[in-house]
C-alpha cells in the first residue's frame, strides 16, 4: 500500500513532508483495530449491527493512540479520517469531498485495492480486473474520482494494460453499470 500511495504522491508532486505523513498513514491507519475484539476482526461472515458499530470505532481509537505518541501525532487526524467517503457517507465525521484530507483520499483507493486483491477471512481475493471495475464503480461516491483515475493509470502502467483513463471514462463506466 505504501508503494502505491507513494506512486500517487509522486504524481501529485507532494512535498517530502507530505510523503512522510503518507508513509506513516499507510503503515498505521488501522492501528485502532487493536481495540476491536479479535472475533470481529476474524469473522468469516457478515458483521452484525453491533459488531459493525464496534469496528467503526477503530479510527477514533487509532487517532487517540497516535495523539498519545509524539512521533505519531502528526498523523492522528489522518488516522481519524481514513474511512471518510467522497460522498460524505463515511465515518466518523461524515466529511465530504475535499474536506477529506488528501492523504486519506489517496489511502482510501489504495487500501481498497489492497483489500480486494488479497484474501480475507470473509472472502477470496478478486482479480485485478474485477478490482479495477469496483474502483471505477465507486469513483465519485466512495473515492475521489481524480485520485481514482490517477491510481488506475498508475496500475495500467504497472500491469502494462490499457493506457490513460480520464474522468470522462470513469463517468461513462459508471453510467453503463
Query: DSSP letters along 6-69, please?
Result: HHHHHHTT--HHHHHHHHHHHHHTTGGGGGS-HHHHT-SSPPPHHHHHHHTTHHHHHHHHHHTS
Greater confidence, 169 or 63? 63
Map out the domains of the chain as residue ranges.
2-176
pLDDT at 168 over 80: no
Angstrom distance (rounded) from CA 19 to CA 27: 12
**C-alpha distance from residue 8 to each of 17, 25, 76, 125 (Å):** 15, 14, 21, 23
Q: Per residue in 86-142, pLDDT tens?
A: 999 999 999 999 999 999 999 999 999 999 998 876 778 898 889 999 999 999 999
CATH of domain 2-176: 1.10.3210.10
Q: What is the mean pLDDT of residues 140-165?
A: 84
Amino acid at each position: 500500500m505504501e508503494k502505491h500511495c507513494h506512486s500517487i504522491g509522486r504524481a501529485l508532486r507532494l512535498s517530502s513532508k507530505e510523503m512522510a505523513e503518507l508513509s506513516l498513514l499507510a503503515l498505521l491507519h488501522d492501528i485502532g483495530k487493536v481495540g476491536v475484539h479479535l472475533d470481529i476482526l476474524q469473522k468469516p461472515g457478515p458483521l452484525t449491527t453491533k459488531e459493525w458499530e464496534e469496528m467503526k470505532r477503530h479510527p477514533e481509537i487509532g487517532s487517540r493512540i497516535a495523539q498519545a505518541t509524539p512521533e505519531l501525532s502528526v498523523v492522528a487526524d489522518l488516522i481519524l479520517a481514513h474511512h471518510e467517503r467522497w460522498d460524505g457517507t463515511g465515518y466518523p465525521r461524515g466529511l465530504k469531498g475535499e474536506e477529506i484530507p488528501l492523504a486519506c483520499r489517496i489511502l482510501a483507493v489504495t487500501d481498497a485495492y489492497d483489500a480486494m486483491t488479497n484474501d480475507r477471512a470473509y472472502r477470496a481475493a478478486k482479480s485485478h480486473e474485477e478490482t479495477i471495475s469496483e474502483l471505477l464503480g465507486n469513483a465519485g461516491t466512495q473515492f475521489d474520482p481524480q485520485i481514482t483515475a490517477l491510481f488506475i493509470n498508475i496500475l495500467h502502467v504497472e500491469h502494462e494494460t490499457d493506457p490513460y483513463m480520464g474522468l470522462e471514462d470513469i463517468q461513462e463506466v459508471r453510467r453503463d453499470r
